[in-house]
Amino acid sequence: MAPKAKQHPKNYEVLAQELRSRIMSGEFPEGSQLPGERELVLQTGRSRSSVREALRVLESEGLLSKKTVGRYGGSIVQRTPDHTIRRQLDLFIRGRSISFEDLLHTRQAIEPMLAQLAAVNRTDEDLAEIRRRTIALEMAFPDQRHLITLLNLDWHIAVAAASHNELLNALMTGISGALKHASAIEDYGTDETCLGVIRAHRKILDAIEKGDATAARRRMERHLGAYEKELAEFSPPQLALS
Amino acid sequence: MAPKAKQHPKNYEVLAQELRSRIMSGEFPEGSQLPGERELVLQTGRSRSSVREALRVLESEGLLSKKTVGRYGGSIVQRTPDHTIRRQLDLFIRGRSISFEDLLHTRQAIEPMLAQLAAVNRTDEDLAEIRRRTIALEMAFPDQRHLITLLNLDWHIAVAAASHNELLNALMTGISGALKHASAIEDYGTDETCLGVIRAHRKILDAIEKGDATAARRRMERHLGAYEKELAEFSPPQLALS
DNA sequence: CTGGAGTAATGGTCTGACCGTTGCTTCGTC
DNA sequence: GACGAAGCAACGGTCAGACCATTACTCCAG
């Protein structure tokens, strides 16, 4: 006798996978509109609840967005937007209670590459943006210490954007949320620390401006290395991430 | 008069956010069980459809999994599992048609760090696993060329696991799916290329075994650099990702 | 030709029902 | 008292049908 391998595949999962395939296959290219929910009910023979739950899954995966309700509204196929991967990374980091050390190592892995790529791929607008962030941080220095953490992060995100590597950029912005939480704990060290950060940013900016990829990379490595050393001196190992 | 800022927040989104907060706040710790759907209906005043759609979103985000159906079944809070972030990354890479070059740069960013961490954090089991993968690749060499791409990737994934950095490891395994697709296109170069890969793997393994983080990192950098050079010589720039 | 009313189809929501599954409960038997 | 089998209640999954506000097209009056 068969071992009862029924395993009841759930309707909404089957539907979700089917729609995913149809989208990936190109049947519904980016920007096109999916059939309405009632139409999908007719096509698939499932109930509207199941169809809706399947669509909800695809929406939360970032493959779909819901257009305006009302006549001719519907589900639009889209490229996975940045904020989807960003939220997933945030949930992952917070849910798994990733240690600050692991987070820092991840930064040390990707940010030097981002700086290197930024030196090569940056546009003039990118450069102007990084310069704005650099100045904003410098202006905040002695008087608005509480802003420094955020402005610092903004600067790093601007560099990531200038790399024009969508994947690395998404990863960087993804972990920046967790970084923000984690950094909020420590108030930004001494004046010396701040000045060191400002000087490092200025030097990296110079390298990116000149298109010197090697220097940009090396200086970013050093910048993050210094940051790590600072932390090692001042803070105890355990840093809860909210 | 108010500018009609109605903006109809959707019920299931509100519910999803509410449940997300309650989970994150620790009201429902990992492994605990959420109230049943009918109970949530009573608590929130929304309909069961809305509750179910909210739960579906949270499930697709990896925060929940559905226990067995039947009495005392329900939604279990869990840590975001690896496969969730992996699928999101895969959707992102394929949906955005990330170029092979960008993918390679991402590898070059994170893999040297993975090797470095592996040299420090590896357990004996990790080392044994990497060694197994190394040998498997070497055995496949002249006769089973078609397997080499996959075995090669397995080796890299084993190194990532040995790093014991959950985040970087998840990112590596996440992009490995796309890497698999992309690598399937090119058949694995010449004998010379294969031998070069084998030699590089062996040397990185040695460094990890000895706990020499600097060497592991540098050799991984060189290994990937050589791979990039190979590609630049042989293949035209445009490499479609499925 | 233009503009405003009408209209039809959309996604969102709700209600109420039924199903198979599952694990506790209870009761009968030894 | 111990043990096993039948009963039962609650769960998630699914379905049908309804109503709503919203929306963009349609069409006719001016």
Q: What is the DSSP letter of A141?
A: T
- Higher per-residue pLDDT: B73 or B211: B211
pLDDT digits (tens, 9 = 90+) for A31-82: 999 999 999 999 999 999 999 999 999 999 999 999 878 888 899 999 999 9
Tokens of B110: 């994170």
**Is the minimum distance from the CB of B4 to strand D below 7 Å?**
no
Residue B62: left if φ>0, alpha if ψ -120 to 50, beta else—which one?
left
Chain C nucleotides close to protein (CB under 7 A) are 7-17, 20-24
* CA distances in angstroms from A2 to A6, A8, A9, B221, listed in the order given: 10, 15, 18, 53
Interchain CB contact of B79 with A (< 8 Å): yes
Mean pLDDT value across residues B102-117: 97
**Is the minimum distance from the CB of B37 to strand D below 7 Å?**
yes
Interchain CB contact of B95 with A (< 8 Å): yes
Burial of A44 (0-12, 13-18, 19+ CB in 10 A): middle
Interchain CB contact of A240 with B (< 8 Å): no
The segment with the largest mean pLDDT, out of A5-19, A70-84, A171-185, is: A70-84
> How many other β-carbons are positioned within 10 Å of the β-carbon of residue A135?
15
Mean pLDDT value across residues B78-84: 93
**Is the minimum distance from the CB of B6 to strand D below 7 Å?**
yes
Share of chain B above pLDDT 90, in %: 69
* CA distances in angstroms from A238 to A23, A148, A182, B32, B177, listed in the order given: 45, 23, 11, 25, 34
Interchain CB contact of A218 with B (< 8 Å): no
Cβ contact, residue pair B84, A88, below 8 Å: yes
Cβ contact, residue pair B53, A56, below 8 Å: yes
Closest nucleotide to A33, Cα to C1': C10
- Cα–Cα nearest to A156, from A109, A111, A214: A111
Find, in chain A, the residue whose alpha carbon is nearest to that of B26: A242
Residue A33, SS3 per DSSP:
strand
Cβ contact, residue pair A165, B106, below 8 Å: yes
pLDDT surpassing 70 at residue B14? yes
Residue B188: pLDDT band by 50, 70, 90 thresholds? low
Tokens of B198: 């084998």
> Which pTM was predicted?
0.87
Angle at B57 between CA B53 and CA B63, to 5 degrees: 130
Cβ contact, residue pair B92, A49, below 8 Å: no
Mean pLDDT value across residues A152-164: 96
Distance CA B69, CA B62 (A): 19
Cβ contact, residue pair B61, A103, below 8 Å: no
**Is the minimum distance from the CB of A73 to strand D below 7 Å?**
yes
Instruction: Calculate the angstrom distance between C1' of D1 and CA of B72.
Output: 30
CB distance B90 to B181 below 8 Å: no
CB distance A182 to A239 below 8 Å: yes
Interchain CB contact of A67 with B (< 8 Å): no
Distance CA A122, CA A161 (A): 9
Mean pLDDT value across residues B200-212: 95
Print burial letters for B23-50: b (CB count within 10 Å at least 16), e (below 16).
beeeebeeeeebbeeeebbeebebeebb
Give contacts of A63 with chain B, Cβ < 8 Å: 91, 95
Q: Which helix (H) or strand (E) holds A186?
A: none
In angstroms, what separates the C-alpha of B111 from chain A's closest C-alpha?
Answer: 8
Share of chain A above pLDDT 90, in %: 69
pLDDT at B189: 63
In angstroms, what separates the C-alpha of B92 from chain A's closest C-alpha?
Answer: 6
Closest nucleotide to B73, Cα to C1': D11
Residue B238: pLDDT band by 50, 70, 90 thresholds? very low
Question: How many residues are present in chain A?
Answer: 242
Cβ contact, residue pair A60, B63, below 8 Å: no
Give contacts of B12 with chain A, Cβ < 8 Å: 56
